[in-house]
Amino acid sequence: MAHHPEESLMKSLVVNQFGSVPQMNIEVRPDPVARNGFTLVKMHAATINPLSHQVRSGMVDTAKAPLVLSNDGSGLVEASGRFEKGTPVAIYGGGQLGITQDGLQQEWALVEDRRIIELPAGFDLDEGAALPINYVTAYQALTRVGKVVKGQTVLISGASGALGHALIQTARALGAIPIGVVSSAGKVARAQQSGAHSVIDLSTQDLRQAVLEATGDQGADLAFDPVGGEVLGQLLSALTTRGAVVSIGFVGGVTASINVADVVIYEKRVLGYDAWLETNEDVAVALKAIKGFINGGLLRPSIDSTFPMEQFAEAYERLLSRQATGTILLRL
Q: What is the pLDDT of residues 274-283, one digit of tens each?
A: 988 888 899 8
Q: How confident is the model at residue 252 (pLDDT cuts 50, 70, 90)?
A: confident
Instruction: Based on the fold, state whether residues 152 and 125 are members of the same structural domain.
Output: no
pLDDT value, residue 6: 52
Note the pLDDT tens digit of each residue in 103-130: 999 999 999 999 998 998 889 999 999 9
- Residue 53 belongs to what domain range? 5-131+301-331
Lowest mean pLDDT across 188-202, 205-219, 284-298: 284-298
Q: How many whole angstroms separate alpha carbon 205 and alpha carbon 232?
A: 16
Instruction: Based on the fold, state whether residues 102 and 119 are members of the same structural domain.
Output: yes
Q: Identify whether 66 is preceded by a cis peptide bond (ω within 30 of 0).
A: yes
Q: How many whole angstroms separate alpha carbon 307 and alpha carbon 287?
A: 27
Instruction: Based on the fold, state whether residues 17 and 56 are members of the same structural domain.
Output: yes
Instruction: Based on the fold, state whether residues 140 and 205 are members of the same structural domain.
Output: yes
In a domain, 287, yes or no: no
For residue 194, pLDDT beyond 70: yes
What is the average pLDDT across 205-229? 97
CATH code (residue 82): 3.90.180.10
Q: Into how many domains does the chain fold?
A: 2
Instruction: Based on the fold, state whether residues 149 and 264 are members of the same structural domain.
Output: yes
In a domain, 180, yes or no: yes
In a domain, 78, yes or no: yes
Cross-strand bridge partners of residue 270: 245
Closest CA to 301 of 87, 55, 49, 111: 49
Instruction: Based on the fold, state whether residues 146 and 211 are members of the same structural domain.
Output: yes
- Calculate the alpha carbon distances from 269 to 82, 147, 246 in Å: 43, 13, 8
Q: How confident is the model at residue 253 (pLDDT cuts 50, 70, 90)?
A: confident
pTM above 0.75, yes or no: yes
Note the pLDDT tens digit of each residue in 5-34: 455 899 999 999 999 999 999 999 999 998
For residue 3, pLDDT beyond 60: no
In a domain, 286, yes or no: no
- Cβ-Cβ contacts under 8 Å for 272 (sequence gap 6 or more): 145, 246, 247
Instruction: Based on the fold, state whether residues 230 and 268 are members of the same structural domain.
Output: yes
pLDDT value, residue 242: 98
In a domain, 291, yes or no: no
CATH code (residue 166): 3.40.50.720
Question: Would you mind telling me the total number of residues written for the chain in this entry?
Answer: 332
Instruction: Based on the fold, state whether residues 192 and 246 are members of the same structural domain.
Output: yes
In a domain, 294, yes or no: no
Mean model confidence pLDDT for the chain = 94
Instruction: Based on the fold, state whether residues 253 and 186 are members of the same structural domain.
Output: yes
Instruction: Based on the fold, state whether residues 257 and 155 are members of the same structural domain.
Output: yes
pLDDT value, residue 121: 87
In a domain, 223, yes or no: yes
Instruction: Based on the fold, state whether residues 73 and 58 are members of the same structural domain.
Output: yes
Pairing between β-strand 177-182 and β-strand 198-201 as defined by DSSP bridges = parallel
Instruction: Based on the fold, state whether residues 105 and 152 are members of the same structural domain.
Output: no
In a domain, 108, yes or no: yes
Percent of the chain with pLDDT over 70: 98
For residue 317, pLDDT beyond 90: yes
